Amino acid sequence: MDQPTTTVEPLPDENDPGLLRLASELHLPVQKLRQLIQFGRAASKLAGIGEPETAKHRPNRHDPEPWPEPVNAGELLGRITHAIAFHVVMDRNFALLAALWAMHTHIAGQFGRTPRLVIHSGRVPSGKTTLLSVLSRLVLRPLTICAATPKSLLYSLKHRPTLLIDDASDLLHGNTQVRALIRNGCCREGPRLLRISRSGLAEQLDLFTPVALALDGDIPPMLSGRALGIPLEPLKYGESPGPLDSAATENLLEMRRMIARWAEDRDDAPADAAAPPPQCRDPNWLPLLAVAGEIGPEWASRASDAMKLARGVSATSELERLLADLRAIVDGIRSGKQSLRGRDGKPIADHDRIRSIDLIEQLCILEHCRWSEHGKNGQPITPHALARILADANIHPAMLRFHTGDENGAGIMFRDRGYLFSQFEQAFERYLPFHLREKTL
């Protein structure tokens, strides 16, 4: 049998101008530099580094054995969604997004982006760790951690793992390299980490890999525009999620093998080569929409509806959520749909300003109740807290004049702390994401 031939790139000649220049810069003899280049090529070949990426992920000893028979992708996605919602009490829409995210990790190499999955909650226990445990039995090459040194975490990237980070707030705090991995590793063509290799030379480290994080509180601003938010709430009385026992684990691992078979049977064409759906203006959502769209139009529609809900919590800062709600309040007052009353009980006649106390009241009666339980003890947002958030958009309260009046005549003029609507206008254009400018949450 003929042996396959391989093309070996020759070493540069000793008189090569580029080699001579590099040797001079590194203060190395030319012959020594040629030996280092030869050694580096041999080491790269053994490690599988430097070979071109293919559409499908590389074979890896950590990869699951694909299911022996072809699978129905729609039935599989429904089964995964049901399993996630069975073990973690959560909105069915978010369970679907978590299932799509788990499936996309098996073909992440075909996309230019991989959204960060952020599982967050303001109170404990809420099931964040349990959801990470469920995902660890579904995703490709799971690496579940709660703490790690930057060096060890970066070293793990050579295996292209799916990082599942519990208690992520502690790991991200003050850790520059880990923050760079989480923030920039969602984009294949994003910035890379420059570090010193064992040979003493500078090298670039590709940070592209799927990551899921579980943390308390809101999604950190560093992940703005990069994250898919999965909010979890404490259990209500009578709610009881299914146990994650040995039988459940075996069931989840079986589904992972089915996902591997689905990924193996797919077309080799890059999944993000198709044009994004009309409702997808953010490329970070494209991988999940592409998976759902490939499975079937019904799943694409359901995924689109779930993402409309998720956009309200995915990497949206507190300031952005506040401005979105303020715009709805301002529009209501300007249109006359909402009337505010002054100290004498008569309607306030000024439609270009609002008192701080009235703004607090309007925020607290919104349907989502976000601002009625703003404090750590579940108390409504205070005027001081409101001013602190708006200060990030250079909006500050002032002592303003207000007038009251109705059909029976003018009322009184009084002064109170408040905001002019003109202060909000520029902030709406500058700070609100595109999808929040279209429609208030």
pLDDT tens for each residue of the chain, 441 residues long: 444 444 445 666 777 776 677 677 666 777 776 666 665 555 434 333 333 343 344 456 668 899 999 999 999 999 999 999 999 988 899 999 999 999 999 999 888 889 999 998 866 678 899 999 999 999 999 999 888 887 888 888 888 899 999 988 878 776 777 888 888 888 888 777 777 666 667 777 788 899 999 988 777 767 767 888 888 887 777 778 899 999 999 999 999 999 999 999 986 544 444 444 444 556 677 889 889 988 988 998 899 888 877 765 544 567 878 888 898 899 888 887 778 888 888 888 888 899 999 999 999 888 766 788 776 566 888 999 899 889 888 899 999 999 998 777 778 899 999 999 998 888 888 777 655 555 443
Spatial contact of 100 and 292, defined as CB atoms under 8 Å apart: yes
Q: What is the pLDDT of residue 43?
A: 43
Q: Are residues 102 and 200 in the same domain?
A: yes
Query: What is each CA distance from 367 to 235, 325, 439, in whole angstroms?
Result: 21, 11, 15
Q: Are residues 419 and 360 in the same domain?
A: yes
Q: Are residues 339 and 303 in the same domain?
A: no
Torsion of CA 290, 291, 293, 299, to 10 degrees: -140
Helices (H), 156-219: 168-172, 176-184
Could you tell me if residue 25 is inside a domain?
Answer: no
Q: Residue 324 CA to chain centroid, in angstroms? A: 20
Q: What is the pLDDT of residue 419?
A: 94
Domain termination residue (choose one: 310, 341, 375): 310
Could you tell me if residue 63 is inside a domain?
Answer: no
As a whole number of angstroms, the distance between CA 211 and CA 51 comes to 24
> Strand, coil or helix: what is 365?
coil
Element housing 290 (H / E): helix 286-295
Q: Are residues 334 and 433 in the same domain?
A: yes
- Which domain range does residue 368 map to? 318-438
Domain termination residue (choose one: 310, 335, 355): 310
Q: Are residues 333 and 287 in the same domain?
A: no
Q: Are residues 374 and 410 in the same domain?
A: yes
> Strand, coil or helix: what is 411?
strand
Domain termination residue (choose one: 270, 289, 310): 310
Q: What is the pLDDT of residue 80?
A: 97
Q: What is the pLDDT of residue 55?
A: 37
In the structure encoding, which two tokens stand for residue 375, read together?
């404090």
Q: What is the pLDDT of residue 282?
A: 61
Helices (H), 335-415: 356-364, 383-390
Q: Are residues 225 and 338 in the same domain?
A: no
Query: What is each CA distance from 347 to 255, 305, 329, 342, in whole angstroms?
Result: 61, 40, 16, 6
Task: List all residues 6 or more positions away from 24 whose beta carbon is below 8 Å from its beta carbon.
Answer: none
Q: Report the domain count for the chain.
A: 2
Nearest C-alpha neighbor of 270 from the set 205, 183, 157, 188: 188
Q: Are residues 293 and 323 in the same domain?
A: no
Could you tell me if residue 85 is inside a domain?
Answer: yes
Q: What is the pLDDT of residue 333?
A: 87
As a whole number of angstroms, the distance between CA 257 and CA 255 comes to 5
Query: For the whole prediction, is pTM greater than 0.85?
Result: no
> Strand, coil or helix: what is 218?
coil
Helices (H), 283-408: 286-295, 297-310, 318-334, 356-364, 383-390
As a whole number of angstroms, the distance between CA 287 and CA 36 comes to 41
> Strand, coil or helix: what is 142?
strand
As a whole number of angstroms, the distance between CA 108 and CA 127 comes to 26
The DSSP secondary-structure symbol of 214 reads E
Q: How many CB atoms lie within 10 A of CB 129?
A: 18
Q: Are residues 286 and 398 in the same domain?
A: no
Q: In 16-76, where do the E strands start and end?
A: none
Q: What is the pLDDT of residue 369?
A: 64
Element housing 427 (H / E): helix 421-431
As a whole number of angstroms, the distance between CA 365 and CA 367 comes to 6
Q: What is the pLDDT of residue 281?
A: 52
- Which amino acid, one-letter code, is at 309? L
Q: What is the pLDDT of residue 371?
A: 85
Q: What is the pLDDT of residue 436?
A: 54
